[in-house]
Amino acid sequence: DGQIITIPVVVHVIYSNSQENISMAQIQSQIDVLNEDFRRTNSDATNKWSQAADTQIEFKLANVDPNGNSTNGVTRKSSTRTSWGTNDAMKKASQGGVNPWNAAEYLNMWVCNIGGGILGYAQFPGGSAATDGVVMSPQYFGSSDKGSGFYLSAPFDKGRTTTHEVGHFLNLRHIWGDGGCSVDDFVSDTPTSDAANYNCATGHVSCGSEDMVQNYMDYSDDACMNLFTTGQKNRMRAVLDPGGSRRSL
């Protein structure tokens, strides 16, 4: 069991209208959700699964930019493009996006309208530094529990999309392993499951045991999710601890 690891975050907001240019308060509400979810101080935590864990990972908006200047940890860019897809265009200035800050030093988050009903997507450890980070659509970034007037869309309005994507960024797979009962998520304390669960399928059984639909790495609605497990904690910390591929963060 280690120390608290704090990851500096930069949020690149790319907007085509004023709604998408989300407020600093909405951005901070997302950072607050990440800290609560990863430290298991979320107010909706329950005792249903005894393997629920405090990952001892925290997040803070960067206060120094790559040139050594002070920053609020947010960049903003106006664009005429209204949907960005999932081919990483938002990460490339040459394609109208914003280049990442040094991925060895920052967790880059792009907030732009992805389109196609996609809430967010992430790059796993080990990929190109030029595209490293997570992407979320603005209406799923932040929490309606933490302020008013935010641009958010229920039932994905409690910041859990970013919790899920940062789980991928730190090497977590979907809890069903993206396959049937013989496919694993490489975490021993998450029950095997045969498919994603949607909405809030509490009590759903697959592969001979109850699915952990409350896990951030399932596809449940935000209000249904409330834990990472000890096994997921260990898998995430393995990429951040000495020798891990995201050690420098």
Give ∠ CA 96-32-134 in degrees, rounded to 5. 30
Contact 243, 173 (CB under 8 A): no
Catalytic: 165?
yes
- Exposed / middle / buried, residue 196 (Cβ in 10 Å: 0-12, 13-18, 19+): middle
Q: Would you count residue 120 as binding ligand ARG (CB under 6 A)?
A: yes
Nearer to ligand ARG, 56 or 161 (CB): 161
Reduced to 3 states (helix: H, G, I; strand: E, B; else coil), residue 30 is helix
User: Smallest distance, Å, CB 68 to ligand ARG?
Assistant: 34
Query: Per rule CB under 6 A, is residue 118 in the interface with ligand ARG?
Result: yes
219 near ligand ARG, judged by CB under 6 A: yes
37 binds ligand ARG (CB under 6 A): no
Residue by residue, DSSP assigns 143-158 as BGGG-SS----TTS-B
> Binds 118, which of ligand ARG, Ca ion, none (CB < 5 to 8 A, cut-off by type)?
ligand ARG
Residues 121-150 that bind Ca ion (CB under 5 A): none
Q: Which is nearer to ligand ARG, 5 or 176 (CB)?
A: 176
Does 228 interact with ligand ARG (rule: CB under 6 A)? no
Q: Which stretch binds Ca ion (CB under 5 A): 8-16, 60-68, 71-79, 187-195?
A: 187-195
> Which of 13, 62, 110, 160 forms a contact with ligand ARG (CB under 6 A)?
160
Among 221, 236, 237, 249, binds ligand ARG (CB under 6 A): 221
Cis preceding linkage at 191, omega within 30: no
Query: Which residue is it, tokens 């930069």?
Result: 10
Residue 235 and residue 187 in contact, taking contact as beta carbons nearer than 8 Å? yes
Closest distance to ligand ARG from the beta carbon of 217 (Å)? 9
Helix pair angle (160-169, 24-39), 10° resolution: 60
Number of chain positions touching Ca ion (CB under 5 A): 3
Angle, CA 21 vertex, CA 20 and CA 22 arms, to 5°: 90
Q: Name residues whose C-beta falls within 8 Å of residue 120's C-beta, 6 or more positions apart in sequence.
A: 114, 134, 135, 136, 137, 140, 161, 162, 164, 165
Cβ–Cβ < 8 Å for 56, 3: yes
Place of tokens 């659509």: 137
Nearest-approach distance from CB 127 to ligand ARG, in angstroms: 16
Report which residue type is found at 85: G
Site for ligand ARG in 171-190 (CB under 6 A): none
Q: Which is nearer to ligand ARG, 132 or 222 (CB)?
A: 222
Return residues touching ligand ARG (CB under 6 A).
Answer: 118-121, 156, 160-161, 164, 219-222, 225
Return residues touching Ca ion (CB under 5 A).
Answer: 185, 187, 190
- Residues annotated as catalytic (active site), given as ranges: 165
